[in-house]
Amino acid sequence: THQIRVHMAWVGHPLVGDKVYGRRRHTLPLKHHFLHAAALQFALPASGEVVQLEAPLPADLQSVIDKLEAFTL
């Protein structure tokens, strides 16, 4: 995750929850970075078989999204 954190901060979009490269003023109740890989796909080197993995959003991140969606502009 370090490269992602550095690159995102460099382009002006640090990860929420990043205490090193991010903004320290956020008040979201997170104990880790707001970063999630919903899906990964890769080929196994030995066989070439394609492996696909999916992971649901963790409950703590979904809770933050739910709270943000409650706000309207």
Sequence ranges of the domains in the chain: 2-69
- In this prediction, the residues of the chain whose per-residue pLDDT falls under 70 are 1, 24-28, 72-73
Q: Quick one: pLDDT at residue 16?
A: 81
Q: Quick one: pLDDT at residue 4?
A: 87
Q: Quick one: pLDDT at residue 40?
A: 97
Which tokens belong to 32? 């880790």
Cβ atoms < 10 Å from Cβ of 4: 13
Q: Quick one: pLDDT at residue 55?
A: 97
Cβ atoms < 10 Å from Cβ of 2: 8
Q: Quick one: pLDDT at residue 25?
A: 67
For 1-73, where are the E strands, in sequence order?
Answer: 39-43, 50-54
Which tokens belong to 61? 């991140």
